[in-house]
Amino acid sequence: MAADSTLLLSLVEEFVSGLQDSKAKDAAKGKLVLVILSLTSSQAPTRARGVQLLSEVLKECYGELTEREVEVLIAFYENRLKDHYVITPPVLQGLRALTRCTTLPPGSAVSMLRSLFQDVHVQQILCLGADFVFGFVQSMDGERDPRNLLLAFQIAKNIIHRGYDLGKFTEELFEVTSCYFPIDFTPPPNDPHGITKEELIQELRGVLTGTPKFAEFLLPLIIEKLDSDVPSAKLDSLQTLTACVSQYEHKDLAEFLEGLWASLRREVFQTSSENVESAGLAALTALTSCLSRSVLSSDSEDSLSSFLDLILKDCKHHLCEPDLKLVWPSAKLLQATCCASNRASHIVTAAVMPSLIDQYNSRTQCSQRRTLLEVVQQFIQSVKSSQSSDSDESVLSAFREALCSIMFSALSESDSSLQITATSALTSLAQLTGLLLDSDIELAIDHLTRLSAHMVECAGALAELHPAAFIAKLIPRLKHEMFYLTEPSKQHSHHTMRQRCLSALAAVSKQSSVVQDSTPVLLEVLSSAHKGSVSFSVDEVVLACHSLQRIAEQVEDEEETGRCFHDVIIPRLLSLALQAALQGSPGVRSPLVEEAVLSAMVPVISTSCSRLQPTMAAQTASRAVSLFLDGDVSFLPDNSFPSHIQLLKQQGDSWSQSQMVCLLMGCVCSLPRSVEVPQIDQLLSALEEMSCTCSHQLSYTSAAKCFAGLVNKRPPGQLVLIQRTMKRVCSELDSTSSSVRIQAFTLMIWVAKALLLRYHPLFKTLTDKLFSLLDDTDLGLMAADSFSLLMSDFTDVLNRSCHADVRIMYRQRFFSENSAKLVQGFNAATQEKKSNYLKALSNIVNKLPKQVQVTELPALLSLLLEALTCPDQGVQLSTLSCLEPVLINPPPALIQQLEALVNRLLALLCSPAMNVRIVSLRCIHALSSFPVHEVLPFRARVLRALAKPLDDKKRLVRSEAVQARGEW
C-alpha cells in the first residue's frame, strides 16, 4: 500500500511538472485526497497543473462522488477562482464536470454562477462556449425563489450583453426566462429580503430585450400577452416592446408588423386605462423609429412606408368625423408615428394635413372646428419633436399659409373656446423656425391686443421668439390701453383691461431687451398712481408690483438685467415709497403708503436683490443701510427730499415713514451670505429699538423680521448682541404692566425662528420662554399661534431663495425635542389654559411631513382627541387634517381609542364651519375601512348621525356625506 502511494505521488509530481499526463490521470482515479495534497505549491504554474489534473480526474469519475464530496470540491474550486489567472481555465473545466453530478447540493448552481461572474474575466468563461449557456439553462430551469430568480435574470443579462456564444441554445435560454413573463409577484408582508415586483420586471426585461436573436420568439409572445385582460400584463408587454425595438433592425420586425399594429391599435382604441394607452403610443413611436432607421436599397422593400400605409388606412378616415369618439384615438396614433422621425412626419403630415385643413374650412360649427384645430395643434407639436435641428426646413412649410389662415380666422371668432385653441396652436406654430413671417407676427399682435385672459400666455411665448416686434408693437399699445380711458362709463371694463395689460407686460418680459422697455411702463403706473395724474386703484398698483416681481423671477439671469434692477428699478421703488411717506398734504393720501402696496413691493426688491451679482449686491446693501441709518438719499432719482430723514424712528403718531422698514428688509435680508452688510451692529441696534418701541404693527413686525433675517446669516461668533437683545425682550415679557409686551413677543418669536432654522443653541432658551408664555393670561393665545410661525415657510424672509441658513429637517428636530414638553405642560396646566397647549400641538403637528405624522401621532393620540373638543375651529381643522392620513393605516393605539374618536367626529358634524364638517366626514369615511369586528358596533349610530349632513345646505358637505354613508 505504501508503495502504491509512493508511485501515485511520483506520477502526480511528474504531471504537475509537465513531464507526464495520462499515467498520472489514470493512476489518480479514486485517490482525490492525494491529488489535492499536490496543490499547495507556492508556484502558480505548478498549482495550475495540479488543478488541471484534478479536473481531468473529475471528468472521468464525477458520477462516483457523494453530495458531501461535491460540496467540498465546489468550495475548493470557488476559492481557486480568486487565485492566479493561469489557474482559472482548469478550474472552469472542473466546475463544468461537477455540474454533471447527480448529487449536486441544493443552491450550489447559484453559488457557482455568482462566483463566476464575480471573480472571472469574461474571456476566460467564453472558452466554455455554448456548453456554459446550456449549463446555466439547466440550473435555472424550474426556479421559483424570487431571490434566485433575480440573480438568474442578472446572470442571463450578463451572458447576453457580454457576448457569450448562445449557439443552438438561443431558444432554450429565451424559453427558460420568458416563462416568467409578465412578472406576477406580490412580496409577502414584512419581506426581509426587500425584493420588489419592479426589480424582477426590470431585470427580466433586460434579458428579453438584450439581443435581436430573441426577436422571432419575443414578438409573438408580446402579441399573445397583449390579449390578456390584466392591465398590468398589457402595460409590461407594451413597455417591453418599446425597449426591445430600440435594439432591433427592420428585418427583425418585418413579419410581425401587421400583428403588432393590430394589437397596438386595439389598445389605443378600446383601452380604459390611460397608462396602457400612453404605453401603446410610446411603443408605436419606438416601432416607427426603428423602421425609420432602415437603409433603403434598390431591391429592398420600404418597411416604413408599408407600415405607415397600414396606419393611415385604419386611422385617416376617422379624422373626417370630428363628432365621433374615434377621432382622438386615431389622431393620437398618427401623432405617435409622426414624432418618431423626420421621415415619418413627412409621410404622415403630407397625407393628413390637407384633409384636416379642408375639413376645418368646410365645417361651420364651432365645436367641430375646435376639435379639428386641436388635432392640428397636436400634429404641429409632433412635427416639432421629430425635427432633428432648427436649421432643417419644417415639414409644415408647404402648409404655412393655410395654417396661418385658419388660426387667424379662429382668433376672429366670438367663441372663446375656439380662441383659446387658436392661441395655443399659434404658439406651437411659432416655435417652428420659419413658419411665421414678420407680417404674421404683426397680425398676431393685433389680435393679442384684445387680450382676453387666455391670450396673455400666448403673448409671452411669442415674445420669446420675436422680441423686437413686441417691443415695437405690443408694449406701446398696452401702455396706451392702461393710461387712456376714452369713455368714463366703461370704468369697470377698463379696470379689467388694465389687469390684463399688466399681466401681459409680465408675460412678455422674459428677455433683457424686452425688460428694458416693459419695466418703465410698470414704474410709470406706480408714479402716476402716486402723483394722481392718472387714477389707478390700489389693486391695480399691487398688480403692477406683482408684474415686476414676476419679471424679476423669470427674466434671464444676465448682467444687463441685474444692472437694470440695481440702477433703475430698486432706486425708483425706494424713491416713490419715500415720496409717498413724506407727502404732507392733508386729506391727500398716496396709494403707495398702503400696507398692501408696500407688502407687494417687498418681493420685487427681495427677488431682484437675491439674484444680483456680488459687486452690485454689496452696493445695494451699502445704499439701503445708508438710507435708513443716515438718511443718505443721494442715489435716489427725483432727489428733492429734506435732510435729516430718520426712517427707523416713528415720528409721533405718523407711521408712514417707519413702515418703510419692510423695504429695508427686502434689500438686506435677501442678499447672499457672502455679502457683508455695512454698519451691521448699528443697524441691528436700531431695528431692535424700533421693534420694542414702535406702536405701528407693520413697522415693528417688519423691523423684527429684518432683525431676524440678519441674525440668521451672521457668523456663529458674532451673536453676542443677540443675548443682550433677548435679555431686554424677556424683561419686557416678564413685566405684565409693560405697554410693549406684544412688540417684545413679536421680536422674540422671529429671532427664535431665525435661530431654529440654523440649529443655534440659544434657541433652546427662547423655546423654554415660549412654553412658559402658554400659561400667560394676555399672551397665551398668541404664543400658541406662534408655533405655526415657527414651523411655516415665508416668502419674504428666512427662506432658501433669500439665501437664509436653513438646515434640513428642522421641523422634525423641533418636534422631537419639544413634544414631550408640550405633553407635560398640558398635564400641569389649569383647565382654562389647556386649550393653548392643544392649539400649539396642533400647529406643530400639522406642519410636519405626512410620513412623520403617521409615525409620531400614536404617542400623542390622547392629546389630539382632546384637541377635537377644543372650541377653536382652527384647532379642530388642523387636528382633523393630522388624523386623516393616519386613519388609512391605523396603528393599534388608534383602534383602542375608537369609541372616543367616533364620538368626537360625530359631534363635529354639527360644526358651523363647513371645512370642519367636510374633513370630519372624510375621517368617518376612513373609519369604515377598519377591521369589521371593531367598527360594526358603531354602524347604526354612525348611519343615524350621517342623516343630517345628507341634507346640509352646502353641496360639498352633502357629497362627502353620501360617500361616507355608502361605505358604512
Check whether 57 has a pLDDT greater than 80. yes
pTM for the model stands at 0.71
SS3 content of the chain, % helix, strand, coil (to 5): 75, 0, 25
- Alpha helix positions (H), 802-950: 810-828, 834-846, 850-856, 861-867, 873-886, 892-896, 898-907, 914-927, 932-935, 939-945
What's the rounded mean pLDDT across residues 76-85? 83
How many alpha carbons fall within 13 Å on the CB side of residue 45?
3
Check whether 22 has a pLDDT greater than 60. no
514-558 pLDDT, tens digit each: 999 999 999 999 999 988 878 888 999 999 999 999 999 988 877
494-509 pLDDT, tens digit each: 788 888 889 888 988 8
Which of the 8 DSSP states describes residue 651? B
Residue 448 or residue 965, greater confidence: 965
438-460 pLDDT, tens digit each: 888 888 887 777 656 566 777 77
pLDDT at 299: 45
What's the rounded mean pLDDT across residues 624-651? 82
pLDDT at 623: 92
Check whether 489 has a pLDDT greater than 80. no
Percent of the chain with pLDDT over 90: 17
pLDDT band at 596 (very low <50, low <70, confident <90, very high): very high
Distance of CA 325 to the CA centre of its chain: 33
Residue 439 or residue 13, greater confidence: 439
pLDDT at 159: 83
Residue 615 has a CB neighbour count (10 Å cut-off) of 12
| CA 839 – CA 787 distance, rounded (Å) | 9
Q: What is the DSSP string of 55-92?
A: HHHHHHHGGG--HHHHHHHHHHHHHHTTS-GGGHHHHH
Residue 315 or residue 395, greater confidence: 315
- Helix H or strand E encompassing 478: helix 475-483
pLDDT at 126: 59
Contact between residue 909 and residue 945 where contact means Cβ atoms under 8 Å apart: yes
Lowest-pLDDT range, 6-15, 129-138, 234-243, 942-951? 6-15
Round the average pLDDT of the chain to a whole number and report it: 83
Check whether 300 has a pLDDT greater than 60. no
164-187 pLDDT, tens digit each: 777 788 888 889 898 988 888 887
pLDDT at 17: 56
- Alpha helix positions (H), 127-273: 130-140, 146-161, 170-178, 197-208, 215-225, 231-245, 250-253, 257-270
Lowest-pLDDT range, 18-22, 140-144, 318-322? 18-22
Distance of CA 302 to the CA centre of its chain: 42
Contact between residue 193 and residue 147 where contact means Cβ atoms under 8 Å apart: yes
pLDDT at 487: 53
Check whether 30 has a pLDDT greater than 50. no
The residue extents of the domains of the chain are 1-179, 509-678, 867-967
The answer for residues whose C-beta is within 8 angstroms of residue 87's C-beta and 6 or more apart is: 44, 47, 48, 51, 80
| DSSP-based three-state secondary structure for 162 | coil
Lowest-pLDDT range, 577-591, 621-635, 825-839? 577-591
Lowest-pLDDT range, 36-50, 134-148, 468-482? 36-50
